[in-house]
């Protein structure tokens, strides 16, 4: 059955691929992009793909944009937008940390608090949070980003327990290292503030870890499958190797010394 689905962060990567494919399958998709040029680009992409896609501007730091997006009554809310800021925890400017939480967590939470009451009133709906492998494990020099994703894990887990009584489903998707460009821009994000001579902790070369990223189509396919599905696992992590790494990390947390 076709559903009405709102997806944040749909201008590129997982969001774009998922929005276009869900629209191709006949769902009514409201896809959001942060800037007007991205809105126009996504509309053009939908036209090229031959699918119907409603595209709106949503900058999660803009309360007007959030109010507009909140006016949509949807069956599924997919909270996919995000930023990644690199830097050692003792060096990264707090402005960057605060902005990461404002976009990844608080902007989405504001959207949730505006949209979900209508789901409660009708007794159905679904919220899908795009978390990360970084919501389960920790990547050194990406501590601020991982902290936002750990926060998402806590919020999503609480929401699942709180909203189940109203017939509302909550789930997470947890991508590993996929080649969408997101990780590459995150790896460069520190260059405008970082000073090797004054930093307390030297930044490493991220190049080797970005050299062999996975094909994002695997994650897009999984998202397209679970977003409209009636039944599926609470957490969807891809690729399989990342699942093993996340479970190994959780074991290490119980066994390693301080």
- Active site residue ranges: 11, 131, 145, 149
Give the neighbor-by-neighbor strand order of the sheet with 235-238. Answer: 54-57, 28-33, 4-7, 76-79, 125-130, 168-175, 235-238
Residue 84 DSSP symbol:
-
Rounded Cα–Cα distance for residues 54 and 4 (Å):
11
3-class secondary-structure state, position 142: coil
Give the end-to-end CA distance of the chain in Å, rounded to a whole number: 52
Contact 186, 146 (CB under 8 A): no
Cβ-count burial 39-55 (b if 16+ within 10 Å, e if not): bebbeebbeeeebebbb
């Amino acid at each position: 059955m076709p559903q009405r689905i709102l997806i944040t962060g749909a201008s590129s990567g997982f969001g774009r691929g998922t929005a276009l494919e869900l629209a191709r399958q006949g769902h009514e998709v409201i896809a959001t992009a942060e800037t007007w040029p991205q809105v126009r680009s996504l509309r053009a992409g939908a036209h090229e793909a031959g699918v119907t896609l409603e595209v709106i501007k949503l900058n999660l730091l803009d309360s007007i944009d959030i109010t507009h997006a909140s006016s949509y009554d949807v069956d599924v809310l997919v909270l996919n937008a995000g930023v990644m800021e690199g830097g050692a925890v003792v060096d990264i400017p707090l402005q960057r940390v605060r902005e990461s939480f404002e976009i990844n967590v608080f902007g989405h939470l504001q959207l949730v608090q505006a949209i979900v009451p209508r789901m409660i009133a009708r007794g159905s709906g679904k919220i899908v949070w795009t978390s990360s492998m970084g919501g389960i494990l920790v990547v050194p020099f990406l501590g601020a980003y991982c902290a936002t994703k750990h926060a998402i894990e806590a919020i999503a887990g609480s929401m699942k327990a709180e909203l189940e009584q109203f017939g509302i489903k909550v789930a997470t998707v947890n991508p590993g290292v996929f080649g969408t460009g997101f990780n590459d821009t995150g790896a460069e994000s520190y260059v405008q503030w970082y000073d090797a001579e004054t930093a307390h902790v030297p930044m490493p070369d991220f190049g080797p870890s970005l050299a062999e990223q996975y094909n994002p189509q695997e994650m897009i396919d999984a998202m397209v499958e679970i977003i409209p599905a009636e039944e599926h696992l609470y957490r969807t992590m891809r690729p399989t190797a990342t699942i093993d790494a996340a479970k190994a990390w959780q074991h290490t947390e119980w066994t390693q010394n301080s």
